[in-house]
Chains A and B, each alone.
Chain A
Amino acid sequence: MISADNLQLTFGKGTPLENPALRGLSLKVDPGEFVTVIGSNGAGKSTLLNALSGEVMVDSGQIIVDDKDVTKLPTHRRADRVARVFQDPLAGTCEDLTIEENMSLAIKRGMRRGLGSGVKNRYRKRFRDALAELNLGLENRLGDRMGLLSGGQRQAVSLLMASLNPSSILLLDEHTAALDPRTARFVLNLTCNIVERHRKTALMVTHSMKQALDVGSRTVMLHQGQVVFDISGEEREGLEVPDLLSLFEKQRGLEVTDDSLLLG
Chain B
Amino acid sequence: MLSEIALYGAFETGLIYGIVAFGVYLSFRVLHFPDLTVDGSFPLGAAVAAVMIIDGFNPWLATGMALVAGMGAGAVTALLNVRLHILNLLASILTMIALYSVNLRIMGRPNIALLSEETVLTPWYELDLAFHQVPVALFLLVSLVGLVMLWRFMQSETGLAMRATGANPRMARSQGIATGWMIVLGIALSNGLVALAGALFAQSQGAADVTMGVGVIVIGLASLIGGEAVLTPRNVFRALLACLVGAILYRLAIALALNADFVGLKTQDLNLITAVLVTLAIVLPNARHSVKSFFSRS
Contact present for A119 and B174 (CB under 8 Å): no
Interface: A196 (CB within 8 A): no
Q: Which of A79, A91, A113, A118 contacts B155 (CB 8 A)?
A: A118
The stretch of B49-57, B122-130, B162-170, B221-229 in contact with A is: B162-170
Contact present for A96 and B163 (CB under 8 Å): yes
Contact present for A84 and B174 (CB under 8 Å): yes
**B interface residue count range (under 10 / 10 to 19 / 20 to 34 / 35 or more):** 20 to 34
Interface: B153 (CB within 8 A): yes
Interface: A215 (CB within 8 A): no
**Interface digits, B156-200 against A, CB 8 Å rule (1 contact, 0 not)?**
111111011001101111111111000000000000000000000
Complex Cα distance, B155 from A42, in Å, reads: 42
Complex Cα distance, B176 from A86, in Å, reads: 15
- Evaluate whether A111 and B176 lie within 8 angstroms (CB atoms) in the complex, with A116-B156, A118-B157 already known: yes
- Evaluate whether A79 and B167 lie within 8 angstroms (CB atoms) in the complex, with A101-B160, A114-B157, A117-B155 already known: no
Q: Which of B157, B172, B175, B179 has the most CB of A within 10 A?
A: B175
Contact present for B159 and A118 (CB under 8 Å): yes
Contact present for B157 and A108 (CB under 8 Å): yes
Complex Cα distance, B153 from A251, in Å, reads: 58
Q: Which of B157, B160, B174, B234 contacts A97 (CB 8 A)?
A: B160
Which partner residue on chain B sits nearest A161 by CB separation?
Answer: B175
Contact present for B156 and A105 (CB under 8 Å): no
A residues 75-120 near B (Cβ < 8 Å) are 75-77, 79-80, 82-84, 86, 91-97, 101, 104-106, 108-111, 113-119
Complex Cα distance, B160 from A76, in Å, reads: 15
Complex Cα distance, B158 from A51, in Å, reads: 27
B residues 196-232 near A (Cβ < 8 Å) are none
Contact present for B160 and A104 (CB under 8 Å): yes
Q: B150 → chain A, closest Cβ, in Å?
A: 13
Which partner residue on chain A sits nearest B162 by CB separation?
Answer: A113
Q: A171 → chain B, closest Cβ, in Å?
A: 9
**Interface digits, A144-182 against B, CB 8 Å rule (1 contact, 0 not)?**
010000000000000000000000000000000000000
Contact present for B168 and A91 (CB under 8 Å): yes
**Across the interface, which residues of A come within 8 angstroms of B157, CB to CB?**
104, 108, 113-118
Complex Cα distance, B153 from A99, in Å, reads: 19
Q: Count residues on chain A whose CB falls below 8 Å from chain B CBs.
A: 36
**Across the interface, which residues of A come within 8 angstroms of B156, CB to CB?**
114-118
Complex Cα distance, B180 from A77, in Å, reads: 13
Contact present for B173 and A75 (CB under 8 Å): yes
Q: Which of A53, A96, A118 contacts B174 (CB 8 A)?
A: A53
**Across the interface, which residues of B come within 8 angstroms of A79, CB to CB?**
173-177
Complex Cα distance, B160 from A106, in Å, reads: 11
**Across the interface, which residues of B come within 8 angstroms of A94, CB to CB?**
163-164, 167-168, 171
Which partner residue on chain B sits nearest A120 by CB separation?
Answer: B157
**Across the interface, which residues of A come within 8 angstroms of B174, CB to CB?**
53, 75-76, 79, 82-84, 92
Contact present for B155 and A110 (CB under 8 Å): no
Closest 4 CB pairs between A and B? A79-B176, A113-B157, A118-B160, A110-B176
Q: Mind listing 22 A-B residue pairs with CB under 8 Å?
A: A55-B173, A74-B173, A75-B174, A76-B174, A76-B176, A76-B177, A80-B176, A82-B174, A83-B174, A86-B170, A91-B168, A93-B171, A94-B171, A95-B168, A101-B160, A101-B163, A105-B172, A105-B175, A105-B177, A113-B157, A115-B157, A118-B156
Give 17 A-B pairs besides A80-B176, A113-B160, A114-B157 with Cβ atoms closer than 8 angstroms: A55-B173, A75-B173, A76-B172, A76-B174, A76-B177, A77-B176, A92-B174, A94-B167, A95-B167, A97-B163, A101-B160, A104-B160, A105-B175, A108-B157, A108-B175, A114-B156, A118-B156
